[in-house]
Amino acid sequence: MAFMRIGLLGFGGGPAMIPLVHQEVVKRYGWLEDEEFADILAIANILPGPIATKLPGYIGYRVGGVFGCISAILAVIFPMIVGIILLLSIFSHYRDIGWIQGMGQAVIPVVMVMMGQLSWDFWSKSQKTLGAFISLIIMTVAGISIYLLGIHPGWVISTLLTMALVLPEQKYKENEATE
């Protein structure tokens, strides 16, 4: 049912579904911790294919094995398949009506707020584990790499994962993050 809700309410495509997945698997059911979700999201972003099926597939597998994986993916894509067939049929027939056009535009600010909330949650977690200064440096370098230099986010994430493996492990305490 968790992934069925995501499939039914996931307006705006895969990236817009990420906050819904987070809400269901971390906050509602507690299947993952925030750190685990962030790690899974980072790895899922560097793999090919749509995020809307990669996340449910892995989380379903983790919770319920192969059956859980299949169930989660079907629960996400089935409502989308039925919905797209029905909505596009209706839309193509009534596309010139103003309120139909307005419905599509009205969803955009809602998705923006959901993505902002997810970003804030990740920022809070990053501050607690790495500290504000290191988090800002990583965020700035990643932003410049992706948006100004045009480097694919997968390469940025892969580089950070490689650095985490190569550099000596450091333990961060929550009270040190408030420096």
Which tokens go with 83? 């919905």
What integer pLDDT is reported at residue 179 of this predicted model? 46
How confident is the model over 71-116, as pLDDT tens digits?
999 998 888 888 878 878 887 787 777 777 787 778 788 878 888 8
The chain-wide mean pLDDT, for the chain, equals: 84
**Residue 78 and residue 7 in contact, taking contact as beta carbons nearer than 8 Å:** yes
Which of 13-17, 28-32, 46-50 has the largest mean confidence?
A: 28-32
b/e string for 114-129 if b means 16 or more Cβ within 10 A?
A: beeebeebbeebbbbb
User: Which of the residue ranges 124-128, 133-137, 142-146 would you say has the lowest mean pLDDT?
Assistant: 124-128
**Residue 130 and residue 38 in contact, taking contact as beta carbons nearer than 8 Å:** no
Per-residue pLDDT, averaged over 8-28, amounts to: 82
pTM: 0.55
What integer pLDDT is reported at residue 9 of this predicted model? 76
Show me where the domains of the chain are located: 2-97
Q: CB-based contacts of 156: which residues, under 8 Å, 6+ apart?
A: 142, 145, 146
